[in-house]
Amino acid sequence: MKRGGFRQEVAKHPLSHSHNPRKPFCSSTTASPSPPSWSYLIRKSISQGSPKQALLIYTQIRSKGICNLGVVPLILKACASLCFVNFGKALHGEVIKCGMDFDVFVGTSLVDMYAKCREIFDSRKVFDLLPDRNVVTWNAMVGGYVRNGDMKSASFLFERMSKRTTVTWIEMIDGFARNGDTISARRLFDRVPSELKNVVTWSVMVDGYCSNGEMEAARDVFEQMPQRNFFAWSSMISGYCKKGDVKEAEIIFDRIPIRNLVNWNSMISGYAQNGFSEEAIKAFGKMQADGYEPDEFTVVSVLSACAQSGLLDVGREIHYMINCKGIKCNQIVLNAVLDMYAKCGDLTNARLIFEGMTERNTACWNAMISGFAIHGQCKEALELFGRMEGSKIRPDDITFLSVLSACAHGGFVDEGIEIFSKMEKYGLAAGIGHYGCLVDLLGRAGRLRQAYSLIKKMPMKPNDTVWGAMLGACRIHFDMEMTEQVVKEISTPNSDVGSAHNSHYVLLSSIYAASDSWEKAERMRLDMVNEGFQKIPGFSSFMPNGT
């Protein structure tokens, strides 16, 4: 395309709203309120996180023919945050007609807008056409490549920059780390001039290592930091929790001299993610005792802990707190409340929340379907799956796991086979969990040969869960012939049976005993002893005086 071709093509884009052609875009027409007031209102809307409101105000400006150079970058910023690329292109066309596109501030805003809207080629075209560029323009272009995962182009521009700011270095270090290249990130970190290496630069390097699970390297940089901010502390806590090392996360948390809400949220979330529900709820109480008010991130983690441990009463208190304290009830919070009620068995409240949602995503459909499946309302789970198929939301792997589980427990064999076949329709590949559910479904229904045939045809090796489902079916239906076949399979050196082998021995022993094959049952028991397995003994408790 010719140098002027891109500008001419963009200039053809009409604005998405109508305007009076007698009032040109760059008119000096005065109106009430004055241009500075419009600019203030737009800036205020953006600062308050209401970019749509900013665009609405802007349409009023256009209808009055008012133009203020300071407004254009603000509107482009709103377009970038909303990914309204067509609106941005329309505005680009108008600024070209006014000759404003060569202004360095407007041009930089266009570079940033296109990059954030994933139109990186248009972003680069604007960048190349700008006669004057400042360091902010270069940073916008480099940041655009980084956000789009093109570190090669970002590095090329980075090396050509005559002047770099702290933001430049941070963008590049963070970009390499987010792409999993911590070696390049560290190499750049070590090159940062001492006068530009501030606490944020150090924190980004720490977070880069933590995000990639390299906790030893993260700890090394963390301990060298001249000073630490709340982000560095939280990165370390989250990093250890993601690795499952909650104890080390607690040690870091206890070292924080002055904690803030972000630090508390990291620790509470870490507890919940690792199944430490009681600790998460206790930490939530301590946080409030220290004077910190929970936000949406806090309540999502605590609700997850309640869902895991079945603490319905605590979950209800959190739900009440959300309403009383006016905590922002976004999609994530609503999903967490719904999931808590569903997992804790309060399906009435779960359904009330689900039906009251104005927007539903895959997570809330899955939570509701799973809740029905877990608590034996299998018919309702299937009905809801049918509704989901009729909606604009596509089911995912988790949806199919929940529905197939419902089919297995409800005895819906034909429905389960049909649902399993639908995975291909949605472009989903069945995993070991889906095959396990289908084996369980067929086995419970007494179709042991069909279940065994499915296992043999699976595209992956059957694991403990699959063989366990098969043996469970053999036990229910007292099928000794199939039991012997399964024994041969799990006894081969190439079998993928591992950690749950103990439970298989117990099942086999029970099957043989139930069929009066006492010699084989005793052999299974001796095999367990010889391999170091121990059956956990049952026990009863006696409470004197009824206490």
Digit-coded pLDDT (tens) for 292-314: 999 999 999 999 999 999 999 99
pTM over the 0.85 mark: no
Do 442 and 413 form a contact (C-beta atoms < 8 A)? yes
Domain boundaries, the chain: 1-132
Q: Is the pLDDT of residue 24 over 60?
A: no
Q: What does the pLDDT read at residue 524?
A: 47
- In the predicted structure, residue 16 carries a pLDDT above the cut 60: no
The C-alpha atoms of residue 543 and residue 123 are separated, in whole angstroms, by: 75
Query: What pLDDT sits at residue 497?
Result: 47
2-6, 283-287, 389-393: segment of lowest average pLDDT = 2-6
Q: Are 238 and 207 within 8 A, CB to CB?
A: no
- Looking at residue 374, its pLDDT comes to 92
For 51-72, the pLDDT digits (tens) are 899 888 888 877 766 656 678 8
pLDDT at 453 over 80: yes
Whether 31 has a pLDDT exceeding 60, the answer reads: no
Residues 440-451 have pLDDT tens digits of 999 999 999 999
Contacts of 402 (CB under 8 A, 6+ apart): 366, 369, 370, 373, 381
Contact 104, 137 (CB under 8 A): yes
Look at 169-183, 215-229, 320-334 and tell me which has the smallest mean pLDDT.
320-334
| CA pair distance 100, 98, nearest whole angstrom | 5
Which pLDDT score is estimated for 493?
A: 52
**What percent of the chain has pLDDT above 70?**
82
For 176-192, how does the pLDDT look when each residue is reduced to its tens digit (9 = 90+)?
999 999 999 999 999 99
